[in-house]
Amino acid sequence: MNRQTTIFNILAMLIINLAITCVATAGLQKADANTFPSGVSMSITINDWAEPSVFAQTDPISVAVNFNPGEYAGTPADWWMLAGTQSGQYYYLAESGMWVGPVPPSQVRPVLQSGLFPLTGQSVLKVPGLPPGIYQFYFGVDEMDGVINPDVVYTTTPLTIVATPNSFVTDTGTGTIRKEGALWIMNLKGNYYDMGRQYGYLAKDHLHAMFKILDNDIDFNKVQGILAQNEPTMDDRERLLLYGMSLESGLTFQQLRFMGLALLFSYSPPSQGIGCSVFGATRTQTTTGSTLIGRDFDNPSLTMDQLSGRSAVIVYNPVDEVHGNNHVDNQVSVVTTLGWVFGASTFNSRGLNFEYLNGMISIPSTDLTISDGLHQNLFAAFDCDTEDHVDARYLNAKVAVATLTQVSDAANIWHYERSPLENSMKLQAGQANGGNYYYANPTDMDIFTNHFFLVNHINQSFKYTSPTNDSESRSFQRLVNVQNLAQQVIGRVSVAALQQIMTTDFTNGGSYWDPFITGTADQNVYTCITDVKNKTLKIYPSCERERASWVELDLNKEFR
């Protein structure tokens, strides 16, 4: 079998597995996976995004390459730009700017033959859209002889194009999906089973792509024990949603539960730090006299690096159903990542806003059989109309994992510190002030990261030295930065001020983390500014500023 046939067999496997591989060039030190010879770098970006990407078939697609040959500049070489598709292989020709194919491996030609030189954002494809499917782009260089050699150095990036049907009709309601900028917006209506069916149908391609990522990144067998422990405590509505999703998506009930638990595991490794910051202001602190909330959803894991292009708002509109104590379910919006049933920011039609943060580093989980944990804010938002309702739910039971949840209405802000090891505690805005841990929240403000305020919670491991890769230090530095910014807008907090505060870089004294600036693994999956009284959200999806823009959502129109 010749080398060209072999390389394309490898490419076919890469397309299936969405793997990224690179090998060594002649005369250079052999490179391990995902590394290049010293001083050499190359990448492929899709719509300025250098990670595995998912776009709709109606989205314009732009592919570009970057290359730094380092000390090998001027070395004669074949340049290769290839694309693997479901219809075959294509190659790119620089002289015509055209893609040629599909062709058999023996007919592939190099882009050009010349000495190596740097490329920055060199465009190789601009189209108004692509048919649904999985595409794999490859860029590489090797010895100048017109054929792909065993010592080729290359990089590869996968692209998934989804058909994105815009609606799905069920017996009790119709679900819709649309995309505004980088944000997906899915609006579901019906009973819980039918809303699950709508979700599974409308997000089917996303769910399958995400499951592959999560299944590769997180130990499925390790999760099974926790899933088995928690299954008896699942909310019946979650079961119905997942059963409906399973019917239409082709993923099993257990696979979908695994995806839900993956968020918890993505926060777990202490070595990767911990993210998320929340800024709440109300009454005397805002220009409107009503509550405004700013929130960064940061996540330190590689998993979220790969999922951050799927920021979404899921709007649940349950048909009137009695649940529990003769309560009629609320309509609920969830800001999350497409594919998850729950979310980190939740707003209901009664004007209650919930901001969920994981406190796992502060207080470790020891008993995952305790009910009410990861999905607490979603189902509390379904069930609660007032602060008293939230108190009854949050102060009477321990949780499966340590969490902080900020809750607000148009005039008040408060938050709960909850642990599997101790009774829950509640703090009103401004109460977290002073003490030994750098907290200085002004009156009518509630500002925190992922660490608990009160000193009598056990097993806390606070330390504050510098904004290094130490998780506790980084979390505290976020807190200090946001509180310092708050001091600059005392009595003048507005939506515009929160937009500025919550997108100020960490290196410039804010909480916003961008790995391309800081060199860390943290990613901002989304930033959300909530005007509680007017039920409007301003959402800044994705972590790369140059490709994101604010999307405004009016929940008065989304609730139906």
Confidence bin at 186 (pLDDT 50/70/90): very high
Strand, coil or helix: what is 186? strand
More confident residue, 115 or 360: 115
Element (H, E) at 13: helix 3-17
8 Å CB contact between 178 and 166: yes
Q: What is the pLDDT of residue 525?
A: 78
> Would you say residue 344 has pLDDT above 80?
yes
More confident residue, 327 or 492: 492
Q: What is the pLDDT of residue 406?
A: 94
Average pLDDT over residues 81-110: 85
Kindly list the distances between the CA atom of residue 127 and the CA atoms of 58, 62, 110, 124, 136, in Å, as whole numbers in the listed order: 10, 7, 22, 10, 16
Average pLDDT over residues 18-26: 26
> Would you say residue 470 has pLDDT above 80?
no
Strand, coil or helix: what is 290? coil
Asked, for residue 124, whether it belongs to a domain, the answer is yes
Confidence bin at 34 (pLDDT 50/70/90): very low
Kindly list the distances between the CA atom of residue 448 and the CA atoms of 296, 357, 439, 508, 519, in Å, as whole numbers in the listed order: 11, 10, 8, 19, 24
Task: Answer yes or no: do 282 and 321 share one domain.
Answer: yes
Q: What is the pLDDT of residue 232?
A: 73
**Distance, CA of 399 to CA of 373 (rounded, Å):** 5
Note if the bond before 232 is cis, omega within 30 degrees: no
Task: Answer yes or no: do 376 and 498 share one domain.
Answer: yes
**Distance, CA of 535 to CA of 529 (rounded, Å):** 11
Task: Answer yes or no: do 370 and 447 share one domain.
Answer: yes
Query: CB 9: neighbour CB atoms within 10 A?
Result: 12
Q: What is the pLDDT of residue 514?
A: 61
**Residue that is written with structure tokens 């800081």 in the block:** 518
Q: What is the pLDDT of residue 187?
A: 97
Q: What is the pLDDT of residue 1?
A: 26
Lowest mean pLDDT segment, chosen from 131-140, 393-402, 534-543 = 393-402
Asked, for residue 203, whether it belongs to a domain, the answer is no
Kindly list the distances between the CA atom of residue 130 and the CA atoms of 46, 67, 166, 341, in Å, as whole numbers in the listed order: 13, 25, 17, 29
Report the percentage of the chain scoring pLDDT > 70.
Answer: 73
**Distance, CA of 218 to CA of 215 (rounded, Å):** 6
8 Å CB contact between 332 and 322: no
**Distance, CA of 428 to CA of 414 (rounded, Å):** 4
Asked, for residue 205, whether it belongs to a domain, the answer is no
Q: What is the pLDDT of residue 364?
A: 58
Task: Answer yes or no: do 452 and 432 share one domain.
Answer: yes
> Would you say residue 189 has pLDDT above 90?
yes
Expressed as residue numbers, the domain containing 315 is 167-190+271-558
Report pLDDT digits (tens) over 198-233.
999 999 888 887 787 777 666 666 677 767 767 777
Q: At 179, list the tokens.
A: 């995309």
**Residue that is written with structure tokens 């860390």 in the block:** 520
Lowest mean pLDDT segment, chosen from 173-182, 217-226, 452-461 = 452-461
Report pLDDT digits (tens) over 249-305.
999 998 898 887 766 665 554 444 456 889 999 999 999 999 999 998 876 555 555
Task: Answer yes or no: do 131 and 171 share one domain.
Answer: no
Cα 362 to the center of its chain, rounded Å: 22
> Would you say residue 349 has pLDDT above 90?
yes
Q: At 222, list the tokens.
A: 């390790």
Q: What's the maximum distance between 2 C-alpha atoms anywhere in the chain?
A: 77
**Residue that is written with structure tokens 């901001």 in the block:** 355
**Distance, CA of 367 to CA of 23 (rounded, Å):** 45
Asked, for residue 247, whether it belongs to a domain, the answer is no
Domain count, the chain: 2
Task: Answer yes or no: do 345 and 396 share one domain.
Answer: yes
Query: Phi-psi region for residue 491, left (φ > 0), alpha (ψ -120 to 50) or beta?
Result: left
Report pLDDT digits (tens) over 385-434.
999 999 988 887 667 667 889 999 999 999 998 877 777 889 899 988 87
> Would you say residue 367 has pLDDT above 70?
no
Q: What is the pLDDT of residue 492?
A: 97
- Burial bucket for residue 63 (CB in 10 Å: 0-12, 13-18, 19+): buried
On average, the pLDDT of the chain sits at 78
Task: Answer yes or no: do 171 and 101 share one domain.
Answer: no
**Distance, CA of 87 to CA of 308 (rounded, Å):** 29
Asked, for residue 212, whether it belongs to a domain, the answer is no
More confident residue, 446 or 338: 446
Asked, for residue 216, whether it belongs to a domain, the answer is no
Q: Convert 160-181 to b/e letters by CB count within 10 Å (16 or more is b).
A: bbbebeeebebebbebbbebee
318 Cβ partners below 8 Å, 6+ apart? Answer: 189, 190, 191, 192, 195, 329, 330, 331, 382
> Would you say residue 351 has pLDDT above 90?
yes
Among the listed residues 220, 448, 210, the one whose alpha carbon sits nearest the alpha carbon of residue 308: 210
- Burial bucket for residue 459 (CB in 10 Å: 0-12, 13-18, 19+): middle
> Would you say residue 179 has pLDDT above 70?
yes
**Distance, CA of 286 to CA of 355 (rounded, Å):** 19
**Distance, CA of 107 to CA of 278 (rounded, Å):** 56
Q: What is the pLDDT of residue 131?
A: 86
Report the percentage of the chain scoring pLDDT > 90.
Answer: 32
More confident residue, 65 or 59: 65
Task: Answer yes or no: do 395 and 519 share one domain.
Answer: yes
> Would you say residue 537 has pLDDT above 70?
yes
> Would you say residue 355 has pLDDT above 50?
yes
Query: CB 114: neighbour CB atoms within 10 A?
Result: 15
**Distance, CA of 193 to CA of 316 (rounded, Å):** 12
Q: What is the pLDDT of residue 314?
A: 97
Task: Answer yes or no: do 497 and 522 share one domain.
Answer: yes
Asked, for residue 260, whether it belongs to a domain, the answer is no
Query: Phi-psi region for residue 339, left (φ > 0), alpha (ψ -120 to 50) or beta?
Result: left
Confidence bin at 241 (pLDDT 50/70/90): very high
Task: Answer yes or no: do 452 and 516 share one domain.
Answer: yes
Q: What is the pLDDT of residue 134?
A: 84
- We report the CATH number of the domain holding residue 346 as 3.60.60.10
Q: At 27, list the tokens.
A: 């005369």
Asked, for residue 336, whether it belongs to a domain, the answer is yes
**Residue that is written with structure tokens 């998506």 in the block:** 249
- We report the CATH number of the domain holding residue 142 as 2.60.40.10
8 Å CB contact between 361 and 452: no
E strand segments, 88-231: 88-93, 98-103, 112-115, 119-127, 133-142, 153-162, 167-170, 173-180, 183-190
**Distance, CA of 552 to CA of 536 (rounded, Å):** 7
Report pLDDT digits (tens) over 481-524.
888 899 999 999 999 999 999 988 877 888 776 655 444 556 67
**Distance, CA of 280 to CA of 441 (rounded, Å):** 10
232 Cβ partners below 8 Å, 6+ apart? Answer: none
Average pLDDT over residues 92-111: 85
Task: Answer yes or no: do 125 and 179 share one domain.
Answer: no
Q: Which of 162, 180, 213 is the last residue of a domain?
A: 162
E strand segments, 143-182: 153-162, 167-170, 173-180
Task: Answer yes or no: do 303 and 443 share one domain.
Answer: yes
| DSSP code of residue 29 | P
Q: What is the pLDDT of residue 371?
A: 46
8 Å CB contact between 243 and 199: no
Q: What is the pLDDT of residue 181?
A: 81
> Would you say residue 559 has pLDDT above 70?
yes
Highest mean pLDDT among 32-46, 341-355, 432-446: 341-355
